[in-house]
């Protein structure tokens, strides 16, 4: 079934900019939920990034379906996995210590929990899953990660969330020290979106 456009289930302007850049050559209109005139109260009660991304995309797809709009809906779910903490905070990254707790406090807490832990045990990754729900109900997911280590202090002014404590040994820099274009090029979200673009092309969207 041919879709008329892509709708990305996010309210985040940075994510919209990134997806527009990456998906531009598909030649399809790309809208945010707001631009598509839909919203939904979504409870992310999945146990994996995949489940949560599909929950978000499906909820918006259902709303668009009610309006008779034939769109492919994309949604993302992402987070930070720290090996030493049994992959915490994982799918709870945004909710770690409470949704309204500042990242200065969350980051300080994670550094404290890793006190005395040597470099080789500080391994961590940002994970991103992109889900696609087609108008005929077919669902696909892609996953990508960027590997790094939890640093010993906060560094850098760019990025958001856990970027100031995420050290990238290959670059000798913290994630929050990368220029935005550079981060998009190597990030978990950028890579998962590129993978999803391949799926959309393959499915002759």
Active site residue ranges: 77
Write down the least CB distance from residue 157 to ligand IMP, Å. Answer: 13
Determine the Cα angle at 49 with ends 30 and 139, to 5°. Answer: 55
Q: Which residues contact 83 (CB under 8 A, 6 or more apart)?
A: 121, 123, 124
Of the chain, the end-to-end C-alpha distance in Å amounts to 8
Write down the least CB distance from residue 126 to ligand IMP, Å. Answer: 5
* Nearer CB in complex with ligand IMP: 151/159: 159
Cα–Cα distance measured from residue 90 to residue 107, given in angstroms and rounded to the nearest whole number: 14
Applying CB under 6 A, which residues contact ligand IMP? 76-80, 93-94, 126, 159-163, 187
* Nearer CB in complex with ligand IMP: 79/151: 79
* Nearer CB in complex with ligand IMP: 10/31: 10
Write down the least CB distance from residue 1 to ligand IMP, Å. Answer: 28
Kind and range of the H or E run holding 96: none
Residue 132 and residue 200 in contact, taking contact as beta carbons nearer than 8 Å: yes
What is the sign, positive or negative, of the torsion defined by CA atoms of 105, 106, 112, 113?
positive
Residue nearest to ligand IMP (CB): 161
């Amino acid at each position: 079934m041919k879709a008329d456009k892509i709708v990305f289930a996010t309210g985040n302007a940075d994510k919209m900019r990134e997806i527009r850049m990456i998906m531009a050559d598909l030649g399809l209109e790309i809208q945010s939920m707001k631009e598509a005139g839909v919203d939904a109260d979504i409870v992310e009660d999945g146990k994996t990034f995949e489940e949560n991304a599909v929950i978000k995309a499906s909820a918006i797809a259902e709303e668009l379906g009610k309006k008779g709009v034939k769109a492919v809906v994309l949604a993302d779910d992402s987070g930070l996995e720290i090996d030493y903490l049994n992959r915490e905070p994982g799918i709870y990254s945004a909710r770690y210590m409470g949704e309204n707790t500042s990242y200065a406090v969350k980051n300080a807490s994670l550094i404290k929990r890793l006190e005395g832990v040597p470099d080789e045990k500080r391994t961590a990754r940002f994970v991103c899953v992109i889900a696609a729900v087609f108008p005929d109900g077919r669902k696909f997911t892609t996953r990508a990660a960027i590997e790094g280590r939890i640093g010993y202090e906060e560094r850098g002014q760019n990025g958001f969330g856990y970027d100031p404590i995420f050290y990238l040994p290959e670059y000798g820099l913290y994630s929050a020290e990368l220029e935005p274009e550079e981060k998009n090029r190597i990030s978990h979200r950028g890579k998962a979106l590129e993978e999803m673009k391949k799926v959309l092309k393959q499915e002759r969207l």
